[in-house]
Structure 1
Amino acid sequence: MTITSSLVSAVELAGRSGFRYPNENDDYRRARHALLAEEIELRRHIERVAAQRRALPPGGEVNGRYQFQGEHGLLDLADLFGDRQTLVVYSYMFGPRRERPCPMCTSLLSAWDGEARDIGQRVALAVVARSPIERLVAFRNERGWRDLRLYSDIDDCYSRDYHGIGNDGGDDSAINVFTRRDGRIRHFWSGEMGFETADPGQDPRGAPDLMPLWTILDMTPEGRGTDWYPKLDYPG
């Protein structure tokens, strides 16, 4: 018997919830229980997708010698692993055509900076952009980031091969995961959702969603909205 077939139904689990709040009425509790059952199903689907992702066969071996400029000198992709066996690389939209970096990327990375030390206990995390390292460090200091590791893609080769450059030659955000096993570096997974895979009326959001911002807003009656996006600076 599979794990899925042995699970108690989501509706039954929702019925076991003892949560109640002051002054709520029966209509609210019925609707909340129905929603809770859907949330349980969502959690289960997230777990199934994560297991399917972990079970991917080996991806393409990394043969190119990609060069990055860090604060302390040149590195290649193997160097970005440090002593970890898995490497997560985010392609930051802050290339030579931009006076300022992408606000969405910046919002995401601001959240990640607070988690970077925790993430680093299990895997390596690197942020790659096409601006010179001095420019990246200056902006990092402006934002007050402390723990993100930033690197400049000095010849655009990595960004070109792993979708950090759009069809128009401009920046594109990308998330890629690499593994190092038995001395071989392989591509493991990347986000492949974009405008082509977006549902009508929605931004081309990915799944899993990388931005904690949207997770918080999705829990509110205002939601994400249709035309609000984070900014680099806010008045007042």
Structure 2
Amino acid sequence: MALKGGPRDMSKWSAVLRDPNIQFPGESTEYRQSRKQLLEAEEKLRQINEQVAAQRRALPSGGLLAQDYVFESAADGSEVRFSELFAPSKDTLVIYNMMFPRWSEDPRAGALEGQTALLPLVEQPCPSCTSVVDGLEGAAFHLAERINLVVIAKTDAARLGAYARERQWRDLRLLSSKNNTFNRDYHAETADGVQLPILNVFSRDEDGIHHRWASEQVFARGDSTAMDPIWPIWGALDLTPEGRGEAAAYPSLQY
């Protein structure tokens, strides 16, 4: 993928955007005062987000890759080694582990049609993970300019490939980890075999492939809010008066 055109002059673009006196039709003085207070809080949050992002980038390299795992491609069943997930010019790899199969106690709806719908519910993919991967599919083409992106699931490669076709996931690289220990080693699977939604980041340098970061807040908080940076539905809902609502029941569409 080749870059086209030149970079924007961000100082000029900033001058276009800035308007400290902006107001909207019909708003009250009370609204504007409250909105300015919220704007100050939003700016503080932005600064904290930037500080945390810088701290994340400054993390020292983690451990070397435990082994050169062998996966199966959902596209054609071929074997793919972990080391082959790095394109020649891209030294960062982001992996999302989706829950396929889902948590056995998840009562939300299964697939509506296709080969996936024929599977027992407990062997079908997690609706939340489907939502996450739908979002990643939309971003995958753009992210390919900068990083390597892979989705891994511990189901048969053929099942994963069938679901990818049903969901029209065309730009994502999807791999089965059914025949290796990657999920267990990198905490995307419990000791009892329950699959977990986990993000892992790896980097490649002259010393080899290192683990760099994982969504460890999943384990600290006991929820999936660590997925928020790649899961846009929550950001959109957070902007609304209704908010996120009951997360246990959403998303629950029959995909």
Please tell me the TM-score bracket, short chain as reference.
0.7 to 0.9
* CA displacement 1:65-120 (0-9 Å, x = unmatched): 21100134111111111222000011110039733201111101101111101111
Once residues 65 and 88 of structure 1 are traced to their aligned partners in structure 2, the CA distance between those partners, rounded to angstroms, is 16
Aligned amino acid, residue 44 of structure 1: Q
Q: Give ranges in structure 2 of 5+ residues lacking alignment.
A: 1-18, 105-121
Once residues 145 and 208 of structure 1 are traced to their aligned partners in structure 2, the CA distance between those partners, rounded to angstroms, is 20
Q: 1:212 aligns with which of 232, 235, 247?
A: 232
Q: Which has the higher contact order (CA 8 A, sep 6+)?
A: 2
Coordinate RMSD, CA, aligned: 1.9
Q: 1:131 aligns with which of 133, 155, 170?
A: 155
Residue 162 (structure 1) aligned with residue 186 (structure 2): yes
Residue 189 (structure 1) aligned with residue 223 (structure 2): no
The structure carrying a bigger helix percent of its residues is 2
Q: 2:95 aligns with which of 58, 77, 89?
A: 89
Q: 1:75 aligns with which of 67, 80, 89?
A: 80
* CA displacement 1:32-72 (0-9 Å, x = unmatched): 00000111111111100000000001110113121100134
| Superposition pairs of residues 5-84 of structure 1, within 5 angstroms | 17-70=20-73, 71-72=75-76, 73-83=78-88, 84=90
Other structure's SS at 1:117 match: helix
Q: Give ranges in structure 1 of 5+ residues lacking alignment.
A: 1-15
Assess if the C-alpha contact under 8 Å between 1:89 and 1:175 holds in 2. Answer: yes
Structure 1 residue 174: Cα displacement:
0.8
Once residues 183 and 127 of structure 1 are traced to their aligned partners in structure 2, the CA distance between those partners, rounded to angstroms, is 25
Once residues 227 and 52 of structure 2 are traced to their aligned partners in structure 1, the CA distance between those partners, rounded to angstroms, is 10
Once residues 154 and 101 of structure 2 are traced to their aligned partners in structure 1, the CA distance between those partners, rounded to angstroms, is 4
Identity across matched positions, percent: 40
Once residues 78 and 183 of structure 1 are traced to their aligned partners in structure 2, the CA distance between those partners, rounded to angstroms, is 13
Determine the structure 2 residue equivalent to 1:231: 252
Other structure's SS at 1:209 match: helix
Other structure's SS at 2:42 match: helix
Assess if the C-alpha contact under 8 Å between 1:106 and 1:232 holds in 2. Answer: no
Other structure's SS at 2:230 match: coil
Q: Normalising by structure 1, what TM-score?
A: 0.85
Count of residues in correspondence between the two structures: 215
Q: Normalising by structure 2, what TM-score?
A: 0.79
Structure 1 residue 155: Cα displacement:
1.9
Judging changes above 3 Å, is the alpha-carbon distance between structure 1 residues 51 and 204 closer, same or farther for their aligned structure 2 residues? same
